[in-house]
Amino acid sequence: MKTTKIKAIFKGKDGSLGYSNGREYELKVWQHSENGHRNIAIELASSPDEKYCEYESIVSFIENWDCIRHF
């Protein structure tokens, strides 16, 4: 599984999975396949909580994250 580290600002609903709207997070991103569907999976890059989330498409990911950049 190839993982990419990014920084992005959460613009989704405040408190969703514990994320705060407007706050920047370091995330690990990878492609996840399940039942023949490919999803985008993310989790906090360095957190004891390891908050994990899947998105069905790049569009749904971009709807919740802004200022996305590789580091």
What per-residue confidence (pLDDT) applies to 40?
A: 83
User: What's the count of helices (H) and strands (E) in the chain, helices before strands?
Assistant: 1, 5
Distance from C-alpha of 17 to C-alpha of 19, rounded to nearest angstrom: 6
Write down the mean pLDDT value for the chain: 85
What per-residue confidence (pLDDT) applies to 48?
A: 59
Average pLDDT over residues 31-38: 76
Longest dimension (CA), the chain: 34
Share of the chain above pLDDT 70, in %: 92
Contact 54, 32 (CB under 8 A): yes
pLDDT band of residue 37 (cuts 50, 70, 90) is: confident
Distance from C-alpha of 67 to C-alpha of 40, rounded to nearest angstrom: 17
Task: Please determine, for residue 59, whether its predicted confidence score (pLDDT) is greater than 70.
Answer: yes
